[in-house]
Amino acid sequence: NEMASLAKRNVALNFLEDKIEVINDDIANFQNHVERASFSVVFSNPPYMNSSNENASEVKAIARHDKFLSCEKLCKMASALLKEKGRFYLCYPPERLCELFVEMSKCGLEPKRMFLTENNKKQIKLCFIEAVKGASHGLKILPNLTVNDADGKYLESLHTKYF
């Protein structure tokens, strides 16, 4: 798969082969590769868009649309992979937060911290969330993070530690 090859190249370029293994498989098959409840952290940059507006390229469609990784499946798999009190980090479109929070709740994932990114025109673009498996209720909303300068270029000083 093209995307798995790209991920492997990135791991090698960053000299992380001894720390990161790229597995090219459906997340639902995770038990063929790792043990259930064996991770302290799961991070995902999932497909954002509903599968109705798919792109022409299959690779791009898989990466951008939730045809193969629905919000429900993502939350179920993250919960299954995480140890109790494990942390789930993800970015998601703000317009789909209600759906995400419902699915997280069904899977025992409690949103704990969240911030929104905005462009230089104060338009909200993405939401970044930290959820904890088996945690009590209570969400802290952090200040928005502006990601573009006045010319629309990504700011190089985006190393703010929110999580």
Q: Could you report the per-residue pLDDT of 42-88, keeping only the tens digit for each? A: 999 876 666 555 556 776 666 666 767 889 999 999 999 999 999 99
Q: What is the DSSP string of 131-159?
A: EEETPPS--EEPPPEE-B-TTSPBPS---
pLDDT of res. 49: 67
Question: pTM for this one?
Answer: 0.83
Cβ contact 110:137 at 8 Å: yes
Residue 131, CA distances (Å) to 19, 59, 86, 92 in order: 23, 28, 8, 13
Phi, psi of 12 (to 5 degrees): -65, -45
